[in-house]
Structure 1
Amino acid sequence: MAPETLLDGTHTVLTPEYVEFRFTLAGLYSRFLAWLVDSAIVLALSMMALLGLSLTMMAFPGIASALGIVVYFLVDWGYGIALETAWSGQTVGKRLLSLRVIQESGVRIGFYHAALRNLVRPVDRLPFLYLVGGVAAMASGSQQRLGDMLAGTIVVRERKLKVPSALSATGEEGLLADPLFVSRVKRLSTEEREVVLTAALRREELRMDARLRLFAALGTRLQDALAMEKPAHLSDEKWTLLVAAALLPPKAARGTRPPRAQALG
């Protein structure tokens, strides 16, 4: 077993359709490595900011140390909040380690969650090297530091899922070539796209009864969203797979991994 998976666990999300999705929690080892990468970037950005303020520091040498601390914390907070908001729960370090912050409900985080979990970092870092945060994570069933508990977030490991052949061989090439169908699929919201892709990629993990419930709900939801009736000869699952195939770029449809299908929409 690889070192980074030693402390990994699982987090289960139950959808309104009573379908379970399991997320692999990021272990403390991989989170620590991601933090080291982000810390190096924050330090470099802080030094650049201080160089830009060098004239001010020379004019007021008595406040140089205090100004340096303030600049570091502002850069540190701004870096985490900005990137986790813009990159849907990822920073440079998390992206390199294939980690992502999501809500406990399985959906992507927003500015509120990113801000809350990052503003609590100074407490989690006490007394050094995230000792408080590490102890809190080990005591938590979902490996949450204090910031995560307050924000209602978890850190998960992104799975490298490949597009199943069913998405590139739907047997309905005529519908996929229909400009009206494709244009309406492309207008789906980001959340709707992620729900469709996640369901398509992870359907083999579901029990048959849960699978049927999920795709029945998705089939109805997609007919409303697209303002189109499902062809009578298609099952709800096949209909959803067609929508997923229309969402994928040509390379992904031939079997490569599509962009981000981790968090539920």
Structure 2
Amino acid sequence: MATDTLLDGTHTVLTPEYVEFRFTLAGLYSRFLAWLLDAVIVLTVSLAVMMGLGLSMSAFPGVASALGIVVYFLVDWGYGITLETAWSGQTVGKRALSLRVIQESGVRIGFYHAALRNLARPVDRLPFFYLVGGVAALVSGSQQRLGDMLAGTIVVRERRLKVPSAINASGEEGLLADPLFVSRVKRLSTEERELVLTAALRREELRMEARLRLFAALGARLQDALAMEKPDHLSDEKWTLLVAAALLPSKAPRGAQPPRARALG
């Protein structure tokens, strides 16, 4: 992992096949703007909830104030945890700024990571305006606030990667109409799906030696995971791209006669 500049660094993930993928870290300015938008939404929802509970008209202003603080923190925590879990590391603010929270390993976060990083927000906010979190991010090599360090997460800037034409025009569209092949691809684990799609989208960034090594390992792994033999005329890379194509929400051409994939055993 290395940081190129103060505002936008890079985070490097080394796969088990010794292939590097680089992610652009989100700068503090863009993260602040995303937080500001989320804060407005949280405050608006909190006020709506308090009004719905009739706290603003309570005969006990002290109790109303205490409950208002509790409501705010519950909405704040619930907002961050729920959206980052459901939207794979994004809130409304992060989506608007094209930011995403991911694990340090480069894969998407789950409920556990979203909960940890959001529950630590009160500490990061001390004494005001995320001063503790901001200082932690500045001294951290990966621009992580305390919540990110606790959860093992980073915030990255999303790049709009186009689906390679090789996926949609592979010359083997018939295989995508094979029910056995498609059904087994759909049963791949989340980690395997993300690995296949990341490799397909970022393959042009790799040096040829690393590219061959990565797809050779992926090709063998996918044959085991799918319990299917790779057609002899397909390279490991083409085989992986076909698996990636089956994961995308696209339809196989009508009337195509699929070459049947051979199940192992």
SS of 1:250's equivalent in the other structure is coil
Q: Is 2:71 the counterpart of 1:71?
A: yes
- CA deviations on 1:90-122 (whole Å, 9 max, x unpaired) are 111111111111111112112221111111111
**Residue type matched to 2:48 in 1?**
M
Aligned to 2:134: 134
Distance in 1 (CA, whole Å) between partners of 2:198 and 2:241 is 11
RMSD: 1.9
Q: Give deviations 1:71-91, integer Å, cap 9, x for gaps.
A: 111111111111111211111
Count of residue pairs the alignment pairs up: 248
Alignment partner, residue 38 of structure 1: 38
Change in CA separation of 1:151 and 1:89 when aligned onto 2, cut-off 3 Å: same
Q: What TM-score, normalized to structure 1? A: 0.88
Contact in 1 for aligned 2:55/2:68 (Cα 8 Å): no
1:22 offset after TM fit, Å? 0.4
CA contact (8 A) 2:55 2:64 kept: no
Structure 2: gaps (5+ residues): 254-265
Give the whole-Å Cα distance in 1 for the aligned partners of 2:153 and 2:57: 39
- Cα pair 2:88 2:110 within 8 Å, conserved: yes
Of the structure 1 ranges 84-93 and 183-192, higher mean CA displacement relative to structure 2 is found in 183-192
Conserved in 2, the CA contact under 8 Å of 1:101 and 1:154? yes
SS in 2 for 1:102: strand
Q: What is the deviation of 1:152?
A: 1.1
Tell me the CA shift for residue 143 of structure 1. Answer: 0.5
Name the amino acid aligned to 1:158: E
Structure 2 counterpart SS, 1:90 = coil
Taking structure 1 as reference, are residues 219 and 65 closer, same or farther at Cα in structure 2, changes over 3 Å only?
same
Q: Which amino acid aligns with 1:112?
A: Y
SS at match of 1:224: helix
- Give the letter for the 1:63 counterpart: V
State whether residues 142 and 154 of structure 2, in contact with CA within 8 Å, keep that contact through their aligned partners in structure 1.
yes
The answer for the alignment partner of 2:13 in structure 1 is 13
Partners in 2 of 1:56 and 1:134 — Cα distance?
Answer: 34
Change in Cα spacing, 1:55 to 1:91, as seen in structure 2 (3 Å) is closer
Counterpart check, 1:150 vs 2:150: yes
Aligned to 1:237: 237
**Secondary structure of the equivalent of 2:229?**
coil
Distance 1:97 1:56 in 2: 34
Moved over 4 A (4+): none
Query: Would you say the 8 A contact 2:50–2:56 is kept in 1?
Result: no
For residues 62 and 145 of structure 2, the distance between their equivalents in structure 1, rounded to whole angstroms, comes to 36
Per-residue deviation, residues 229-253 of structure 1 (Å, max 9, x unmatched):
00111111110011112222239x9
Contact 1:57–1:63 under 8 Å retained in 2: no
1:60 alignment counterpart? 60
Which residue number in structure 2 is paired with residue 100 of structure 1?
Answer: 100
Gaps of 5+ in 1: 254-265
Aligned letter for 1:35? W
- Matched with 1:180 is 180
Distance 1:203 1:89 in 2: 24
